[in-house]
Amino acid sequence: MAAATASVPAVVRVRPAGMAAADRPSIFTPEIICLIAGAVVGVILFVIGGLNWAGVLNIQVRPGEGTGVNPAIDFFVFGMLALMAPYGFVATAKQRRISKIEDRLPDFLRDVAEAGRFGMTLSDAIVVASNGRYGLLTEEIKKMASQLEWGVPVATALRLFEERVPTPLTQRVVSIVTRANEAGGSVADVLTMVAHDTREAQLSDQSRKISMMTYVTVIYISFFVFIVTIYIMAAVFLPQMITAGEGISHSGLGSSGAVTLEFTFVPILFLAFLVAVIVHAVGDGIMAGVLYNGRIAEGLQHATIMLGVGWVLMRFLVPILHT
C-alpha cells in the first residue's frame, strides 16, 4: 500500500515534465523555415539572372525581347520575391493571429479575477475560467488549464503560455501575475488592474494603427502615381523621342550636325525607370509595414505586392523600346 501511494506522485511529476518539454517551442518555426527556403530559392534565381546577364543562359520571360539586361533583372526580381514573400506573409499571418489572441486577453484576466474573488487559488481560477469562450485565445487557455490539472505549477504554466504567445504584452502580463501570486495577497485586484491596463494599451495601439493607415494609403497612392507617370513616359514620350531622333538622323540636319537627338540612350532610360520601380517598391513597402505596426515582416508583405504589380506593369504593359 505504501509503495502504491509513493508511486502516484512520481507519475504526476513525470507527466508535466513531458508536457512542458513537448510544449517548448522549436527553433525552426514556420517563418524561419520559410525564410530559409525563400533564401535558397532566391539565391538560385539570382544565379540564373547572373548567367543571363553574362550570356551563358538565354531564358526570356517576355518572348521576343532577346537577350540583354532585362531578362537578368526579371530573375533578380523573382529572387527578391522568393526571399520576401514566404517569410513576409507567414510572419504577418502569425502576428495577426497573436493580435487576435491578445484582443481577448483582458476578458480572460477579468474572468480569472472574478473567480479568484470567491476564494479560489490562481490555478483553480484559471481552470474555471478556461470554460469560457475567448476566440483564438481559448485553445491556449485550455492547454494551460490541462497543464495545471496535471500538476504543473502555475508559474510554469504561465511561462509556457508566454512562450507560445511571445509578445511584449503577454510577457508583461505574465510577469506581473506571477510576481503577484508569489507575493501573496489579493491576486484578484492585481488581475483586474492588469486587465484594465491591457485594454488601455490595446486601444492605444489600435488608435495608432488607424492613424498610420493614412500614411500607408498615401504610400500606396504615391507609388502607383509614380508607376502611371513612368508608364506614360515609356509608352508615349520615349517612343516619340525615338521617332523624332530617327527622322533627324535620316535628314540633312542630322548629318550636318546642326540638330542632334541622342535617341539611342532611350532603352537605357527605360532600364533606369525599371530599376527605379524596383527600388521604390521594396523601399516603400518596408516603410509602409514599419509605419503601420513597427514590424519589417509586414513591410515585406507590402513590398511583395508593390514589386509584383510594378514588375508586371513595366514588363508586360509597357511596350518594348528598340532603337
State the pLDDT confidence band at 320, using cuts at 50, 70 and 90. Answer: low
pLDDT at 235 over 60: yes
DSSP-derived secondary structure letter, 261: -
Last residue of a domain, one of 185, 218, 246: 185
- pLDDT of 5 reads 39
In a domain, 129, yes or no: yes
Query: Mean pLDDT, the chain, as a whole number?
Result: 79
pLDDT at 83 over 60: yes
Alpha helix locations (H) across 233-265?
A: 238-249, 252-256
For residues 62 and 311, is the Cβ–Cβ distance under 8 A? no
122 and 97 assigned to the same domain: no
Please enumerate in sequence order all residues whose Cβ is within 8 A of that of 18, keeping only pairs 6 or more positions apart, or say none: none
88 and 114 assigned to the same domain: no
| Higher-confidence position of 90 and 22 | 90
Q: What share of the chain is helix, strand, coil (3-state, %, to 5)?
A: 80, 0, 20
- Full residue range of the structural domain in which residue 70 is found: 2-101
- pLDDT of 285 reads 92
Of the candidate ranges 56-60, 71-75, 192-196, 257-261, the one whose mean pLDDT is the lowest: 257-261
- pLDDT of 44 reads 94
User: What's the burial of 73, exposed, middle or buried (CB within 10 Å: 0-12/13-18/19+)?
Assistant: buried
165 and 218 assigned to the same domain: no
State the pLDDT confidence band at 3, using cuts at 50, 70 and 90. Answer: very low
Residue type, 191: L
C-alpha cell at 133: 469562450
Residue type, 38: G
Residue type, 145: A
The CA-atom distances, in angstroms, between 116 and each of 11, 128, 132, 196, 198 are: 29, 10, 15, 16, 19
Task: Quick: pLDDT tens for 107-165.
Answer: 888 888 888 777 788 888 888 888 888 888 888 888 888 888 888 888 888 888 888 87
C-alpha cell at 132: 469560457
Residue 22, number of CB atoms within 10 A of its CB: 8
Last residue of a domain, one of 51, 73, 101: 101
- pLDDT of 68 reads 66
C-alpha cell at 295: 514590424
- pLDDT of 250 reads 58
In a domain, 287, yes or no: yes
In a domain, 267, yes or no: yes
Residue 259, number of CB atoms within 10 A of its CB: 12
| Higher-confidence position of 141 and 286 | 286
Total structural domains within the chain: 3
Tell me which residue of 271, 270, 250, 272 sits closest to 261, measured CA to CA: 250
For the residues 307-316, what does the mean pLDDT come to? 89
175 and 250 assigned to the same domain: no
Share of the chain above pLDDT 90, in %: 18
For residues 303 and 285, is the Cβ–Cβ distance under 8 A? yes
In a domain, 197, yes or no: no
72 and 135 assigned to the same domain: no
Alpha-carbon distance of 32 to 17, in angstroms, equals 27
pLDDT at 215 over 60: yes
For the residues 223-237, what does the mean pLDDT come to? 85
Last residue of a domain, one of 155, 185, 215: 185
Alpha-carbon distance of 159 to 154, in angstroms, equals 9
The CA-atom distances, in angstroms, between 70 and each of 33, 75, 273, 302 are: 31, 9, 12, 24
Task: Quick: pLDDT tens for 4-55.
Answer: 433 333 333 334 444 444 445 567 788 889 989 999 999 999 999 888 888 7
- pLDDT of 240 reads 75
Please enumerate in sequence order all residues whose Cβ is within 8 A of that of 31, keeping only pairs 6 or more positions apart, or say none: 87, 90, 91, 94, 297
- pLDDT of 47 reads 92
Most confident stretch, 42-56, 96-110, 167-181: 42-56
For the residues 202-223, what does the mean pLDDT come to? 89
State the pLDDT confidence band at 244, using cuts at 50, 70 and 90. Answer: low
Strands (E), the chain: none
248 and 293 assigned to the same domain: yes
Alpha-carbon distance of 38 to 182, in angstroms, equals 45
With b for 16 or more beta-carbon neighbours within 10 A and e for fewer, the 223-252 pattern comes to beebbeebbebbeeebbebbeebeebeeee
